[in-house]
Each structure stands twice: as structure tokens, then as C-alpha cells.
Chain A
Amino acid sequence: MDPAQFFATSRVVIVAGKGGVGKTAVSAALARSAALAGLSTLIIEVEGKSGLSTMFGQPPFDYEEVVLSKGGGPTGAADVRARTLTPDDALIEYLEDHGMSRISRRLVHSGAIDMVATAAPGIKDILILGKVKQLERAPAADLIVLDAPAAGHAISFLRSPRGLIDAVRVGPINSQARDVLDMLTDPTRCQVLLVTLPEETPVNELIETAYSLEDEVGVSLGPVVVNGLYPPLPGLDRDPEEAAAEAGAFLHPGEAHSLRAAARFRLDRMALQTEQVERLAQRLPLPQLQLPYVFAADLGPEHIDDLARALTRGIEKLSAIPATNETTESDRDGSRPKGGL
């Protein structure tokens, strides 16, 4: 599929997955991949201190929007921007927009938001999602990538509007929750990309999360991102002594052993990874985008670019699902084209 078309599937992409699977790196790579396809992109952080700014070689950012990677140049890429959303700031903004500016700061700074959030759980989540919806409607960018809270939290985060519609039956929170739910359940506006590692427990959790998100939130799921696959290297099954003789090299004492052990380790891990990738494909009928393991100290802009290009290649290999009547119609209407997700 053409990457530009893929990224035009929905304005909002929510990246979710359990801690440690590389959710933030995937968000960064996804944004950069979209930017390389010419779409201006805004990454939204909700938990802070994720390391996103260093991945782009930039200083830390806050509630104020910043440019993480400037577009233009020979690639003709669009900008990648980012900002953080916090419930407190979103609440202040919300109250000010609703004519309650006089009380807003007092409400937030007295810690009352915690009390209010206690009274109706999910209220912090809805404040953030409400703000995302506002940015989507503006629209603040061609593509908005939301780096969601870690899984477990991701489910309750995305389930918050449904819960609140039941808990708060009237008033602005209720209508806010309804608007957010409309966005979450509309595949032309929003989809969720789940990220996992090719390992047993993360794969199991991803499958569970995928089904509960579909069943309980009704959100549309994009391809699954499988992160951290060891790139294949030919010759790892060779005997080091033989390979050395063939290359006309002499090995240091003990070197053959180290080379063999490291090669075996990688082959074993790769076999386990393949097993998990296949199991995931069997258990969850969603296309996969695969990202390589990065052997580097800290992820920097060049690694994010590598990952972005790997994503782009993966997207190009995705087959577009045959258009249904609905898509054909919306295509004819000239609205944003549907992907095939």
C-alpha cells in the first residue's frame, strides 16, 4: 500500500502496548515515516519522560508544541512536531473554554481534580482524549500520533468514555465522552496500532488487549507492530574455524568458541522470535509491521530514520483490502481515502 494512503486512513493513530516494547520508538518512527511520505505529524505524549525528544536529538518539551524534526530538504519530508498533554492543563483549558476560567486554576491547584477524578474515574483520561479530539478537529496536523499509556492502562484509558457515559449521565463531561467515543469508534478518524515484542508473554498480552479493545471500546485496529526482531545474518550456522580458513584468517585462541556461542545465541533467539511471530499471526488476524532490533546504546535520529524506513517498507508490502461499498462511496465523496485496515 502507498504509505501516503496508509497514513491517510485516519487522522489519529493511537500507539499502545505494554511497557518495554518500544512504544515510544514506534511512535517516533511512525511519525517520521508519515513525515517522509509528506504528512505533517504531531506526536502527543501523555506520560512524560519517555525519551522521545532525545530520539530526535532535541531538548525535552512540554505542554507547548515543539518541532522535533524539521521538514523540507532533499527528502521533501513534512515536519514532525510534538507536545505533552496533562489532565491538569487540559482541565484548565476545558474550564476556560466553558466559561469557568475564574475557578479553573483554583480547582486544579487545590488538588480538587484528584477528588473529581475519584468521583468519576476516567475523567482524567477523558480530558486528554477530549483534547486529542479537539486537535483532530482543528486539525492540528495531517496525522496525530498518540503515544498511549502502557497497556493495562491503555485499555482503561480508551474505555474511559464508555464508562463515563454511564457514570455521568448529563452535562458537559457526558457530551465530551460521547464526542470522544464517536472519534474512537470511527475507523476513518482513529485507529489503534498495538506494539509488541516477538516473545511469549508480550504476544499473549497483545492478543488479549486486541480483543478487549475491539469488544469493549469498539476501536478499529491497524496493523500490529512487532518490534525488536533480530535482522537475519547469513553464515551464522557456519563453523568459525572453517569460515576463517575460507576467508584466509587466523583466529585468536578462544575466538572460535565466542563466535560459535554468539551465533548459536542469535539463531536460537531468532527461532523463538519466528515461532512467536507465527503464533501471533495465527491467533490475531491482523497484518504485521516488523521492526528490527537496534544494537545501539541510545536511540538517536539516525536510528529513528532507519526504523521509519523499515516501517515504510512494511507498509508498502501491506495489501490494500478490497474496497467495500462504503469505502467506494466515501472515495467518491472525495473524503479522506480509507486504507485497508
Chain B
Amino acid sequence: MSTLARSHDPSLRSLVEGKEIIVCTGSGGVGKTTTAAVLALEGARLGRKTCVVTIDPAKRLADALGLEGLTNTPSKINGPWPGELWALMLDTKSTFDSLVVKHATDEEQARGILENRFYRNISGALSGTQEYMAMEKLYELHEENDFDLIVVDTPPTRNALDFLEAPRRLTRFLDHRLYRILMAPTRGLVKAMNVAAQVFLRTVSKVVGGEVVEDAIAFFQAFDGMEAGFKDRAQRVLELLSHEDTAFVLVTAPRHDVVAEARFFAEKLREASIPIQALIVNRVHPHFSDASPEATRERARTYAGTDLGNLYENLADFLLVASREEDNLRGLTEIVKPAPVIRVPFLHSDVHDIEGLGVISRHLFG
């Protein structure tokens, strides 16, 4: 637990100062990874021991953070700040592997699973696995290390709350009828049940081939006895995510389609009773004038064919873009109220070093 007093000041700085976990969420390509890194850096500047968990950073940012290749354990980034800054890049597969090892009753059970082809397929590719493992890693870091603040970047999901539902997904998977059918032979269910199962399996085998089904059965048999541990763990991950020391920060861009996705996220989070504590809008166009785009366009028409006409035309274009962006954001800022809305303008270049993070930091924290 942080010793800092919990503040109700709805500012971004107070989140970085007082929370233990910040989850950056939003659709892909809106600068989530960079934002997560900036928040973590600010934490270190405020004297906290901070760790940022990134999913898929652009290569140059990864280099800047000292993340060469997948490490899956935090590495320390040295710099002139009073706190500490650590970073790690999520390795989905090895996180899943260590989870299996943790829950297995013995080495033999662990090996049986890790070597199973079906497991190797799902640990890398089951939809939601990456999300699940991001949350698992977050939980592990929170439980086993002494970070004051962990900032986690969520994977770009097609479905808004995959990352929240991911822990539940595996347990649902284990509750699934097909799973129970597959497990029936070892659980000594009545023979009649088994006949139906066999028909079902034969059909599935016909489609995907017998080997896949055999691998799957072998996996579930090896997994037997571990579900309870997994379910329990998933439950605790969910509790951590809805704890009051955890804050969700929604990251978006002002573009129409991206805002629509962000609204969807925001509404889903609200349904799950998880408040958004800050909205960060990246890549906002500047607001060059208070004149209306229409009046400016009219001036452009009046002076069409002259350089002045083109200058007006250009101004009208950007006034239109800016007013459109504000229109796009209006509904979203309403939904996230009273969370602060922080706008970060278009920058001259993409961020790939600590200095660049500092530039964004000035926009976020003033």
C-alpha cells in the first residue's frame, strides 16, 4: 500500500502520485504505449518506484527504454529522477508457461502441458491470451515486487473489454460443455453421456482432423486438477483491477472512428462500474482562430485565385478539422465526467527517447 494519502483531486498528477496501478486503455494506434511510458516516467520523477509494462512498443521506443528483445522481467532504466523507473515488455508465452508451472502439482504435470501441441497453440494464439497474460503479469508484479506504481499498456483489442474479460475467458473455457465432454472419460460419467460425446468428437475430428482432437484431450487431461487454481487466480486479478488503488486512463485520438471506439470502451467500463479517471487525447490539431470555418471558407471564395485566397482556404481547412475534432470529443468527455480531459497536440516527430517522453510529459502535467 502506498503511504501517500489518497487524493480526490481529479488530476492526472494525483493519479501518478497516489495510485498503485494505472491501466492505459484504448484502441490501437492512439499512442497508448507512449502515454504509459510518460506516466511511468512521471511516477519516477515524483520519487516513486515505478514499472511500465508494455505490450508491443515501436522498436525505437523499446530501445530507448532499454527493452532489447523480450525479457519478461523488469529492467531498470537509469536517469536523473529521484524515484526508480523500470520497464518490461510482455512475453505472452513465457508468462503463460510460468503460470502453468506455478499451478501444476508436480514437474511431470507441468511438462505434460508445456510440451503439448494444443497448449503451445493456445498459449500463443488463443484470442484474449495476450490480454489475459498482460493482466496476469500485472498481478504478479503487484504481488511479488515492491513497486509503488505499475503502469500497464493494454493490447490493442478488437473487442473493447477483452483485457478485462480475458481472465474470465479461460475459466469460461474450462466450464465449457466440450471441455466437460472431453474430460468425461477420466471423470467416470455415465456411458450414455459418452456416446453423445463420441458423436460430437467424431464430427469435430472430421473437420479439423483427429490429431487436433487427440492433442486437445491430452491437454485437458494433463490440465485436470489445475482449473481451481487458475480460476481463483483469475478472480483475484479481477479484484485487483476493480480496486480503488487502480486507475483506468482512457487514451484516444480525436478522429471520428477512434472516438467512437473510445466511447464504446468508456460505456463498457461504466457498465462494469470501473470509472475512467482521466481521458488523454493525443494528436489534436491546433485551434488557429475563433473564426468559424464557414466564414473563413467564404473569405477564401472571395479571394479565390490569389495567395490570400489559398491562405484562407488552408485556415478554413484546419478550422474545420479542429471543430470536427471537438464535436467528436463532446460526447466522450460527457461520459467520462468528472475525469479530466487532457489534449496533446500533434508533435513534430514520433517519440523514441526519454527526451521525447519529456515533451509529452510537459503537455500532460504542465
Contact = CB atoms under 8 A, between A and B. Distances in A.
Interface of A: 18-20, 47, 51, 95, 100, 103, 107, 110-112, 114-123, 149-150, 152-153, 156, 167-174, 199-202, 204-205, 233-236, 238, 240, 243-244, 246-247, 249, 252, 254-255, 258-259, 261-263, 265-266, 268-269, 272, 295-298
A115 B179 contact: yes
A119 B205 CA distance: 11
A238 B216 CA distance: 70
Nearest to B122: A118
B29 A19 contact: yes
Q: Which 4 A-B pairs have the closest CB atoms?
A: A235-B307, A121-B125, A258-B289, A171-B209
Contacts, number: 183
Interface in B298-334: 302-303, 306-315, 317-321, 324, 327
B268 interface: no
B203 A100 contact: yes
Interface centre among A112, A119, A235, A297, by most chain B C-beta atoms within 10 angstroms, is A119
Given A115-B179, A167-B121, A266-B318, 6 more contacts: A20-B253, A118-B173, A168-B212, A171-B208, A247-B309, A255-B289
Interface in B156-179: 156, 158, 173, 176-179
A262 B177 CA distance: 61
B212 A259 contact: no
B349 A200 contact: yes
B63 to A, nearest CB: 12
B27 interface: yes
B120 to A, nearest CB: 10
B206 A100 contact: yes
Interface stretch (B184-192, B227-235, B255-263, B273-281): B255-263
A178 B283 CA distance: 44
Interface string B182-222: 00000000000000000010011111111111011000000
A298 to B, nearest CB: 7
A262 B209 contact: no
B320 to A, nearest CB: 6
Contact of B213 (A119, A150, A170, A172): A119
Nearest to A267: B314
18 contacts: A19-B156, A20-B258, A100-B206, A112-B178, A118-B121, A119-B121, A121-B124, A149-B158, A152-B156, A168-B211, A171-B210, A238-B311, A254-B289, A255-B289, A258-B288, A262-B315, A263-B315, A297-B256
A121 B126 contact: yes
Interface of B: 27-30, 56, 58-59, 117-118, 121-122, 124-127, 156, 158, 173, 176-179, 200, 203-213, 215-216, 253, 255-258, 286, 288-289, 291, 302-303, 306-315, 317-321, 324, 327, 346, 348-350
Contact of A236 (B59, B206, B288, B311): B311
Contacts of A121: 121-122, 124-126
A204 B59 contact: yes
Contacts of A200: 349-350
Contacts of A167: 117, 121, 212
Nearest to A244: B308
A189 B222 CA distance: 44
Contacts of A243: 306-308, 311
Interface centre among B122, B203, B215, B255, by most chain A C-beta atoms within 10 angstroms, is B203
Contacts of A249: 302-303, 308
A272 B349 CA distance: 8
B203 A246 contact: no
A114 B30 CA distance: 29
A199 B324 contact: no
Contact of B176 (A51, A115, A120, A265): A115
A169 B211 contact: yes
A149 B29 CA distance: 14
Contacts of B321: 295
B350 A259 contact: no
A103 B202 CA distance: 11
A20 B255 contact: yes
B324 A246 contact: no
Contacts of B178: 110, 112, 115
Contact of B121 (A120, A149, A170, A297): A120
Contacts of A244: 308
A173 B208 contact: yes
B289 A240 contact: no
Contacts of A272: 348-349
B249 to A, nearest CB: 19
A298 B209 contact: no
A261 B289 CA distance: 10
Contacts of A261: 286, 288
B204 A112 contact: yes
A181 B87 CA distance: 40
A119 B27 contact: no
Contact of B207 (A152, A172, A240): A172
A158 B92 CA distance: 21
A234 B306 CA distance: 9
Contacts of B257: 20, 51
Contacts of A18: 28-29
A222 B27 CA distance: 28
A258 B316 CA distance: 10
A234 B318 contact: no
Contacts of B320: 295-297
B25 to A, nearest CB: 15
B207 A171 contact: yes
Contact of A156 (B122, B125, B156, B302): B125
B207 A173 contact: yes
B27 to A, nearest CB: 6
A119 B215 contact: yes
